Structure 1
Amino acid sequence: MKNEQMRKTMNGALVLTIAALVAKALSALYRIPFQNIVGNTGFYVYQQIYPIYGIGMTFALNGLPVFISKLVAQAEDEERQNQLLGQIFVVLLGLAVVIFAGLQVGSGLIAQAMGDRLLQPLISSVSWMFLLMPFLAVARGYYQGTFNMFPTAISQVSEQLVRVTLIISVAVIASRHEWSVYRTGSWAMLGSVAGAVVAGGIFAGFWRHLVLHHPLKNLWQGLGPVAKLLIKDGMIICLFSALMVLLQLVDSFTVMNALQNFGLGSERAKFIKGIYDRGQPLVQLGMTVAISFASTLLPALTIALRQGKKQEYRKISLMMFHVGLALGSAATAGMIVLMPALNTLLFGDAQLSATISVYVLSVPLISVISLYNSVLQSTDNFGATLLAVLAAIVIKASCNSYLISRWGIMGSAICTDLALVGALIVLVQLLPDSVRQTPQQLSGYLGKLAGCLLVMVVGVALLSGGFQLIFGLQRLSALCLTLLGSVAGVVLFGISAIKFQLLAVDEWATLPGGKRLVRLLKQK
């Protein structure tokens, strides 16, 4: 029975991981053609408001469903599950109405605080998706809690497909009819709401069953403790899931004003912020690559802890750290060394490549932070998560304007990295002793990783330099260089990792194609 439960948990986690990978890839990739259509200023307008949507999406997609699924799995019977789901829905609906009303009424003040009053209609548009958040979060949490991951997976992918299709369609229509960038942004934000509506329609059967089979009067019995638990622990998970979005939200409120204090005019500041925001889809893709493979180990980590297998728990924790950091660091180093070509290929020019390179250093940082947080949450240590999030936000909010006033937009990229370093230090200090590495073990691994990255960076840099010397850097040559550089980087890093024995045999086996590689290594 336990083996069957383990198999079901692992299969469900795999389905959800694949769906999350597809959804996140769609969420990152659509911004590239969108920027190409609307330009840097149009991209600035959209990205100023995106963090508000991102917070709501995180609540409905990642944070709250995970917490709700845990409560559902712990419920003693179906009646208690239904009562619990109804109570959670009531609490979340109340929260959603408050947020919606606050955004509607305060849209003008929020836009003014962001340094651009013309953003007010976009804030009003995005506020509608919060009313759909309770319906999505509760339904997804229920299915995940009963180990049926397919409805959640389908809703995630369908939501992003509809959203991306509508946003790109709006951009095309806007460019043909010469809409203002603000009108374009408002309609693009409504595409996000439409995606949530479609995702909610997938759960219509769930809501019909819950309403017909659960008496409304039972909702008020024990509602207080459920609300307290949801706000106390559930919101902490949500805040951490939205960490990068929260840092982007700080940018939305500080970058425009700080750039103008730095000496830029309003229109130039918008243009520069739009170029800087190119880094966000790159970071999102890098995070997805690094975290997705290692996250398949999370159910095994939880099960090992529940069964008291301390050695197995430590082994899986170290696997997550080694694999996640290796993938995140390799992806980041590759993006940095190819950044001028990557920037030109995706966005048409190489402007602010150095600043975007500093910004994407956040990929290995947030990857390790997320993995360490998973270890801490497996032991129900939510306090560490809260402290880490607060540390990051305080550092970002307190330093962002100052660093921008000194170094321009580069200051914001540096501040994001510093904020994540602060969060990582907090988590490392609070890790359980059972998963800590000795200084010798850690330095040994980091030394091997540095060697692998050095080989890859030097090789790809030489290739890039020679290629640009011969062919220059236009969009077509940037495409060829990016493809060649990516292949060369993967090959060089892979050979170096094998040569330096960066990963153990079990760690290689967690990667796509890793089991075949393990068989080849054993034959040698």
Structure 2
Amino acid sequence: MKNQQMKHVMRGALILSAASLIAKILSAIYRVPFQNLVGNTGFYVYQQIYPIYGIGMTFALSGLPVFISKLVAEQKTPLARRQVLKQSRLLLAGLSAVIFLGLQLGAGKIALAMGDGQLKPLILTVSFMFLAMPYLAVSRGYFQGTFEMVPTAISQVAEQLVRVGVILIAAYLAVKQGWSVYKMGSWAMSGALFGALAAAGVLVYFVRQQQTKLTGANATISYRYLLKRFLLEGGSICLFSAMIILLQLVDSFTVKNGLVASGVSQGLAKSLKGVYDRGQPLVQLGLVVATSFSSTLLPSLTKARQQRQITSFYRMASTMIHLSFALSVAATAGLIALIPGINRLLFGSTQGDLAIGLYLLSIIFVALISTYNSVLQSQNQYHLTTIALFLGIIVKVLLNRWATFRWGITGASAVTVMALVVTFCLIWWQSDDQLRRALVARQFMFKLVVICFVMMLLIGPSTRWLINELAAGRLLTGLLTLLAVLIGGIIFVLLATVGHLFSIREWLALPLGRRYLKFLSRK
């Protein structure tokens, strides 16, 4: 019976991971055609307000549902589950009302603080999605807490499909109808509300299928106790889920203002901020590669901890850390080596290569922070990691405008990386000896650096030489760059094999790793 339940849980985790992967890819890829349609300034307008949506999405999708599912799983009876769901919904209704009213009443001041009063309609539009947050978070939390991952998975993909569809339609109509970038941005931001409604519709269907009522019981759990857990545990999960988005929110208030303060014109500052924002979808794609594979080990890690299998726990934790670090470094090295071609392929120019390349270093530290945080949270350690994140954000807030004033968008990229380094170093330092040693094993670190350096030397200069020699246009540049990405991946795998970078256990944790090892054994 227990084996059957574990299979059900693992299957659900796999489904949810696959849906999350699809949603992340959609969220990253749509920005490329969107930027191509609306240009740097249009992209700036959208990206200025995107972090507000991103925070709401984190609350409703990857932050609060995880915490609520934990609350639900802790309850022993259906009545107790209904009680905690009712109380959670009431608390979240209050929170969403406060956020909605704050955005509605303060939209003008927020827009001015961002240095562009014309952004007010976009803020008003995106605020409506917060009204759907309580239902989305509680419903998803209920299903995940009862190990039913399919409703959350389908609602997640439906939300992204609808939102991305609305955004791209808005961009297309803006070009055809000659809309201003701000009108286009308002319609694009309405995708957040339409996406939330689509997700809610999916969840309503599944709730009715189960004939489950998420309310109807009198509360007996202390609201004070529940609120405390929401703030400490739920808040910690939400903060780390929204880590990169919070740094982008600081950018919205400081980068454009810093550029203007340095003497750049308003129009050019908006365009440069749009160039700076090109790095965000690339970071998202890099993180998909770096974290999706290692995160598949998380259910097994939690199980080992619960069953007090300490040796197994640290073995799997070390595997997660090694895979996350190796894949993030490889993805970052490959992207940086090919950044001129990638920038030209995706966005039509090589403007901002240095700033984007520096920004891509974020992939390594976000991947490491996420992995270490997952391990520490499985040990119920929340407080110190949350403090580390706050200190990193404080570094970003204090230095970002000054660095942008001095060095433009390259300075902003550098401060983002610096903030993440501070956060990671504090989390690493707070970890126990075995988790610290998992990262700094000398042979592993040396091998990884050499392998990635060789890969960069083989694909970077040769690709740039070919592009220049052939005087390649955008299409040919794209084909050569994609070919270089494929060759770079093959080089990394071959060098990792020859150099014994991964253990057999680590190869088995990778997709197709088992087949690759079988192929090698036949040689």
TM-score between both structures, scaled by the size of structure 2 = 0.97
* Residue 515 (structure 1) aligns with: 514
Matched, 1:462 2:487: no
Distance in 2 (alpha carbons) for counterparts of 1:306 and 1:43: 46
* Residue 98 (structure 1) aligns with: 98
Q: Name stretches of at least 5 consecutive residues in structure 2 with no aligned partner.
A: none
Q: Name stretches of at least 5 consecutive residues in structure 1 with no aligned partner.
A: none
* Residue 506 (structure 1) aligns with: 505
* Residue 21 (structure 1) aligns with: 21
* Residue 265 (structure 1) aligns with: 265
- Paired residue secondary structure (2:218): helix
Measured against aligned partners, the alpha-carbon deviations of 1:152-176 in whole angstroms (never above 9, x if no partner) come to: 0000000000111111001111111
Measured against aligned partners, the alpha-carbon deviations of 1:398-426 in whole angstroms (never above 9, x if no partner) come to: 11111111111100000000000001011
Q: Which amino acid is the alignment partner of residue 281 of structure 1?
A: P
- Paired residue secondary structure (2:441): helix
Q: Which amino acid is the alignment partner of residue 463 of structure 1?
A: S
* Residue 427 (structure 1) aligns with: 427
Q: Which amino acid is the alignment partner of residue 111 of structure 2?
A: A
Distance in 2 (alpha carbons) for counterparts of 1:54 and 1:139: 19
Any residues of structure 2 matched to 1:349-388 within 5 Å, and which? 349-388=349-388
Distance in 1 (alpha carbons) for counterparts of 2:136 and 2:39: 33
* Residue 51 (structure 1) aligns with: 51
* Residue 65 (structure 1) aligns with: 65
Report how many residues are paired.
523
Any residues of structure 2 matched to 1:175-194 within 5 Å, and which? 175-194=175-194
Matched, 1:81 2:81: yes
Q: Which amino acid is the alignment partner of residue 73 of structure 2?
A: A
1:435 Cα offset (Å): 2.8
Matched, 1:483 2:482: yes
Matched, 1:496 2:495: yes
Distance in 2 (alpha carbons) for counterparts of 1:278 and 1:482: 17
Distance in 2 (alpha carbons) for counterparts of 1:59 and 1:215: 21
- Paired residue secondary structure (2:219): helix
* Residue 471 (structure 2) aligns with: 472
TM-score between both structures, scaled by the size of structure 1 = 0.97
Q: Which amino acid is the alignment partner of residue 430 of structure 1?
A: Q
- Paired residue secondary structure (1:503): coil
Distance in 2 (alpha carbons) for counterparts of 1:73 and 1:434: 30
1:434 Cα offset (Å): 4.0
Distance in 1 (alpha carbons) for counterparts of 2:59 and 2:381: 20
Q: 1:465 to 1:205 in 2, by over 3 A?
A: closer
Q: Which amino acid is the alignment partner of residue 248 of structure 1?
A: Q
Any residues of structure 2 matched to 1:10-409 within 5 Å, and which? 10-205=10-205, 213=213, 216=216, 218-219=218-219, 222-409=222-409
1:463 Cα offset (Å): 2.0
Measured against aligned partners, the alpha-carbon deviations of 1:380-415 in whole angstroms (never above 9, x if no partner) come to: 101122112102101100111111111111000000
1:199 Cα offset (Å): 0.3
Distance in 2 (alpha carbons) for counterparts of 1:517 and 1:247: 39
Distance in 1 (alpha carbons) for counterparts of 2:161 and 2:483: 30
- Paired residue secondary structure (1:219): coil
Give the share of equivalent positions with the same residue, in percent. Answer: 48
Q: Which amino acid is the alignment partner of residue 299 of structure 1?
A: P
CA-atom RMSD in angstroms: 1.6
Q: 1:426 to 1:168 in 2, by over 3 A?
A: same
Q: 1:314 to 1:481 in 2, by over 3 A?
A: same
* Residue 446 (structure 2) aligns with: 447
2:83 touches 2:220 (CA, 8 Å); kept in 1?
no
Measured against aligned partners, the alpha-carbon deviations of 1:54-105 in whole angstroms (never above 9, x if no partner) come to: 0000111101111111111111111100111110000001000000000000
Q: Which amino acid is the alignment partner of residue 5 of structure 2?
A: Q
Distance in 2 (alpha carbons) for counterparts of 1:257 and 1:214: 46
Q: Which runs of 4+ in 1 moved over 6 A?
A: 209-212
2:429 touches 2:436 (CA, 8 Å); kept in 1?
no
Measured against aligned partners, the alpha-carbon deviations of 1:213-262 in whole angstroms (never above 9, x if no partner) come to: 57646137522221221122101110111000000000000011100112
2:86 touches 2:215 (CA, 8 Å); kept in 1?
no
